[in-house]
Amino acid sequence: MLIEVDVAVDVAVDVADGAEAVDGSAADVEAFARAVLGTLAEPGDGTLGRLVGALGAARTVDLLLERAPVERVLAEVEAAGEAPTTKELEAGLARWTPRIDHAAFVRGLAQAARVDAVFIVPGDACWPSGVDDLGVHAPLGLWVRGDPALLRPGAPSVALVGARAATGYGEHMTMEIAAGLADRGVTVVSGGAYGIDGTAHRVTLASGGTTIAFLAGGVDRFYPVGHDGLLQRIAESGAVVSELPCGASPTKWRFLQRNRLIAAASQATVVLEAGARSGSLNTAGHAAALGRPLGALPGPVTSPASAGCHRLLREFDAVCVVNGDQILELLGAAESVADADAASSGEGDRSIVARHMVPSPEQVRVLDALSTRAPRDVADLARRAGLGPGDVMGVLGMLELDDLVAYRADGWVRRRRRAG
Amino acid sequence: MLIEVDVAVDVAVDVADGAEAVDGSAADVEAFARAVLGTLAEPGDGTLGRLVGALGAARTVDLLLERAPVERVLAEVEAAGEAPTTKELEAGLARWTPRIDHAAFVRGLAQAARVDAVFIVPGDACWPSGVDDLGVHAPLGLWVRGDPALLRPGAPSVALVGARAATGYGEHMTMEIAAGLADRGVTVVSGGAYGIDGTAHRVTLASGGTTIAFLAGGVDRFYPVGHDGLLQRIAESGAVVSELPCGASPTKWRFLQRNRLIAAASQATVVLEAGARSGSLNTAGHAAALGRPLGALPGPVTSPASAGCHRLLREFDAVCVVNGDQILELLGAAESVADADAASSGEGDRSIVARHMVPSPEQVRVLDALSTRAPRDVADLARRAGLGPGDVMGVLGMLELDDLVAYRADGWVRRRRRAG
């Protein structure tokens, strides 16, 4: 452990929650190191996932904090049997090292302790092993407010997601379905957003059921602000979860990555109401890419708020579901899929995630990092985006061609979206 | 030709319409014989279909009118390479011969001549060859009022069907879609019923498009009566079609068989609005069984009028369609399916037709033949149902067990359906 802070001690005990050792054992150190890495990389960083897979989190942290040269890291990785290219590794180090900030890390830990958040890692009894299906993009660990035992695999769970701009129809159907699932002991997973997500959580709570919210920022600051009370209640009787450290704010990239967790941590995903461009289609895409059962609730063709659901039915082989019983049948399918996976894997991959994300992941991150008013230089953008400076320059070039960014005398700005 | 009637001469010319010969040629005789057989058997009689396939219609008529014994018919059929069992053939002869009625046949022909109906048979240029996919259950011929050339294969056509009990939503969507298809030159096929069917026809006419109505009774008497004016207009600019002779009234069995023609004569079938037990699901079942593209328009889950559409999406792999363009895509699929059929066939059969018809075909026919007030004897029921007396007795026994029929001192009656 290269980081030593008093406050971290309290957290380190929670960190080990569920693991066998509690007194600075290897598991303890490894878990703590994962928390450190969570502050250096953006969610879903595949290069870091491979590095941790090869060397372990503790060794990875040591190398990063020592600022070990790329050749040395590469040699260790290759010795462990993994082989990211030098270029990948260089880009990774360039992304992660500018974010090393002991003070910020300590602040995050202190904040986690203050809100009673615990950090769980793979191997813990309560670790939702479904997320491991994300491979090198799996989360390194999860911060949980509430009862982490609710995340343990095996418990029947359904992601109920949908648009923020929900109609009376969508909310009515969400109420019917969430209440029915809660009555049957199914955990309702969602994203805590306004509209369908919030209705799903709220009705599950009101029905005495179990609900889990995955956030795109730290669990210390609930987002959206208008759902602070709701998320507080979820934390009291269910769980509020994020892979981001306390203090991290939500960005578009983090919302997209949060969606992958909703899909991966649930046995099935159902979109209850979604317009043609709703973010919930991204969650649906992740579910399909993971080979998880995907359902969509139809609505009036005359309602643009259901257009995304109809698209899922039409283009992505989503199953048409009209009530809670039919969603339970999807869960039955989930078990069969899991069985079949033992024999053959990868067959369910329809790569529809990419189709929903028109800009590349790097472009999204750089756009998030830009301001429309305050010009920012490449080093600043690289740190904000969690990308290497070279990558940021490449991305800026592409975005400039698309007229999405502009260079001013004192740095880059994001162009305002044109009307229409 | 064993039947000779003056009035038949005029008809016989029309009968040959589209065929090469016009003066009592073999094709002429064969077509005329098919018209005769159409008065003896119910639609979709597979035994008769096999007999005609083996011996030709003219020879079949000769044998029937001569009342040839079953052994002789069987010998001829076997010599031709087909082999229905003695039992099947016996049952067939017992069904058909009681219906031989020269006077009624002549009345039917005269009526056809009066309403300018023409009779088309396989081999005619305008014969809708899609119906031949029904195999031994294909129609022997079709009576057409209007322009028979509109039936010719190759022209893009879609069956737009749905419930009689349509809602404002269903009618609105039917208007949008029928008008869009008419604008694109697609022929709209339907069943002339109230609700969705009638709206589809009416809007297509109003848009200057081509529409074809298939009826469950003779084309001389339009059914339903309230659509007399509409069907008249369809006959003027489109076509009104039936495999039943003039004078035949619609029965439940004939509606179900009419549905198979709608599905088989169209390149794709789309159910626009249908409750869980709508007859249009039967049409959809035929389309699926034939391997034809099947579409369903979703609606609000809260509307029972859309429950059948959702069932098609969920259970029968219907494609979710929300507008005319997506229906045109189904037609594209129809072409690919036709291509693929050249290589492998039968794969599309999902035997869902049977699932929609809880009573057996014979039960439906006998129930149709019964009255709730006037008791009828077995011979009378056999003639009305187009079944052999032995079959009728067997069916009556089963129906009695189900409490659906009762025997009175003077014959069988159908029990009134109990409330609920």
Q: Among A300, A301, A320, select the one facing B313 at the smallest CB separation.
A: A320
Chain B touched by A86 (CB under 8 Å): no
Residues A367 and A327 in one domain: no
Q: Do A322 and B299 touch (CB under 8 A)?
A: no
Task: List pLDDT tens digits, range A203-232.
Answer: 999 999 999 999 999 999 999 999 999 999
Residues B279 and B250 in one domain: yes
Residues A289 and A230 in one domain: yes
B266-302 per-residue burial string, b: 16 or more CB within 10 A, e: under 16: bbbbbbbbbbeebbbbbbbbbbbbbbbbbbbbbbbbe
Residues B166 and B89 in one domain: no
CATH of the domain at A383: 1.10.10.10
B420 lies in a domain?
Answer: no
B321 lies in a domain?
Answer: yes
Domain end, chosen from B114, B147, B163, is at B114
A130 lies in a domain?
Answer: no
Q: Among A301, A313, A322, select the one facing B301 at the smallest CB separation.
A: A322
Q: Among B172, B310, B321, select the one facing A320 at the smallest CB separation.
A: B310
Q: Among A297, A301, A307, select the one facing B301 at the smallest CB separation.
A: A297
Q: Do B322 and A300 touch (CB under 8 A)?
A: no
A146 lies in a domain?
Answer: no
Residue B274, pLDDT score: 97
Nearest CA among B330, B322, B328 for reference residue B169: B322
Domain end, chosen from A326, A353, A380, is at A353
Residue B145, pLDDT score: 98
| Nearest chain B residue to A296, by CA | B314
**What is the domain range of residue B283?**
129-353
Residues B17 and B46 in one domain: yes
**Between these two residues, B135 and B336, which has the higher pLDDT value?**
B135
- The total of structural domains in chain B comes to 3
CATH of the domain at B323: 3.40.50.450
Q: Chain B window 301-360: which residues touch A at a Cβ cutoff of 8 Å?
A: 301-302, 306-307, 310, 313-314, 319-323, 326
Task: List pLDDT tens digits, range A11-30.
Answer: 444 443 433 334 567 888 89
Residues B318 and B365 in one domain: no
Residue whose structure tokens are 């007030």: B373
B123 lies in a domain?
Answer: no
3-state SS assignment for residue B191: coil
Residue B395, pLDDT score: 82
Residues B59 and B145 in one domain: no
A343 lies in a domain?
Answer: yes
Cα dihedral sign, A47-A50-A52-A54: negative
Residue A322, pLDDT score: 97
Residue B26 has what DSSP assignment? H
Residues A248 and A189 in one domain: yes
| A25, A197, A211, A411, B92 from A193: Cα distances, Å | 39, 5, 14, 34, 67
The stretches in chain A having pLDDT less than 70 are 1-24, 334-359, 401, 417-420
A335 lies in a domain?
Answer: yes
Residues A33 and A169 in one domain: no
Residues A348 and A363 in one domain: no
Residues of A in Cβ contact (< 8 Å) with B298:
298-301, 306, 310, 313, 320
A135 lies in a domain?
Answer: no
Chain B touched by A169 (CB under 8 Å): yes
CA distance A8 to chain B (A): 52
Q: How confident is the model at residue B338 (pLDDT cuts 50, 70, 90)?
A: low
| A170, B259, B419 from B274: Cα distances, Å | 21, 14, 23
Q: With a cut of 0.85, is the ipTM above it?
A: no
Cα dihedral sign, B401-B405-B408-B411: negative
Chain B touched by A384 (CB under 8 Å): no
Residue A332, pLDDT score: 84
Cβ neighbours for A110, distance < 8 A, ≥ 6 positions apart:
A7
- Out of B3-17, B191-205, B402-416, pick the least confident: B3-17
Residues B252 and B197 in one domain: yes
Residues B63 and B44 in one domain: yes
Residues of B in Cβ contact (< 8 Å) with A302:
169, 172-173
Domain end, chosen from A330, A353, A376, is at A353
Q: How confident is the model at residue B314 (pLDDT cuts 50, 70, 90)?
A: very high
- Are A395 and A362 within 8 A, CB to CB? yes
Residues of B in Cβ contact (< 8 Å) with A320:
298, 310, 313-314, 320
Residue B241 has what DSSP assignment? E
